[in-house]
Amino acid sequence: MAAKKTAAKKTTSRKATASVDADSVNFEKAMNELETLVANMEKGEHSLEASLKDFERGVELTRICQSALKEAEQKVQILSQKMGSGNMGEESLVPFDEEDLDA
């Protein structure tokens, strides 16, 4: 009986977390929540339904992180271009492909 109550509490907290607006979650919060979800899923103690909900939330959090990283990359590129226009003759940053990250 206690196990059912614990499972119900975990499901309730996941529902509350999942309903959080994507706009209100910053990169760090999204990464922390994603790490927690992965750790919980790796334990293998959740039901299939709970694991699927966690997976869906994980996909949402991954998209939030990807979007935040893309935005940060664009800001860095803009700042680099602004700095580069005033520093003629100095090395400029070279964009990298996503494939380079896998290496």
Domain ranges of the chain: 25-77
What pTM does this model have?
0.58
Q: Given pLDDT bands bounded at 50, 70 and 90, which one contains residue 101?
A: low
Axis-axis angle for helices 2-18, 48-86 (nearest 10): 30
Residues 84, 73, 54, CA angle at the centre, nearest 5°?
Answer: 175
Instruction: Give the model confidence (pLDDT) of 31-77 as tens digits.
Output: 999 999 999 999 999 999 999 999 999 999 999 999 999 999 999 99
Cβ-Cβ contacts under 8 Å for 76 (sequence gap 6 or more): 93
Report residue 88: phi and psi, to 5°. Answer: -65, 140
Q: Is 25-77 assigned to CATH 1.10.287.1040?
A: yes
